Structure 1
Amino acid sequence: PSVKPLPATSAAVGIDVGLDHLLTLSTGEKIANPRHERRDRTRLAQAQRQLARKARGDGANRAKARRKAAEVYARITDRRRDHLHKLT
């Protein structure tokens, strides 16, 4: 199945990035911020605290804690990218 291009249009929409809404369009439509990120932020804070308690060095427990924090970071990044991709 080949992808067919959409027909050209002269319509334009202005976008305003805000704090209380993710986007406000010039058409009046408001797109809310995804609320799932708040839970991810608490998980990230907890993972970072656990990492900060580990002694610096070559320890396996520190490596596990660092990996856990990195996984939470990656999850936040992936969910944000996915939401913006679906939105656009």
Structure 2
Amino acid sequence: VSLLCEDTIAPGPVTTAAVGIDAGLDHLVTLSTGEKVANPRHERADRLRLARAQRELARKDKGSANRAKARLTVARVHARITDR
């Protein structure tokens, strides 16, 4: 499939306001305006999910179809962590 589109993007409005951003540990982002964006803390749940998937993989017999499925599950969890 080949798709060709001709579309012009209108420029956004000009602004003179500037905001500084600081990445931190307690808050994901702190802005110079004083606003703080909370850290979603995805890592904790993902760490538990990964540990469980790896435990289940370790219990499977080598060469079995269920081990192959468990390997895919572990790979999916790793991919999810990487994507975040």
Match status 1:16 vs 2:39: no
Q: Which amino acid aligns with 1:48?
A: Q
User: How many matched pairs?
Assistant: 78
- State which structure, 1 or 2, has the greater radius of gyration over its C-alpha atoms: 2
Among 47, 59, 66, the alignment partner of 2:71 is 66
Q: 1:63 & 1:34 partners in 2: Cα distance?
A: 32
Q: CA RMSD of the aligned region, Å?
A: 2.5
Identity %: 71
Structure with the higher helix share, 1 or 2: 1
Where in structure 1 are there 5+ consecutive unaligned residues? 81-88
Q: Matches of residues 2-81 of structure 1 in structure 2 within 5 Å?
A: 5-54=11-60, 58-77=63-82, 80=84
Partner AA of 2:37 in structure 1? I
What letter is aligned with 1:65? Answer: A
Please report the TM-score for the alignment, with normalisation by the length of structure 2: 0.66
TM-score, length-scaled by structure 1: 0.64
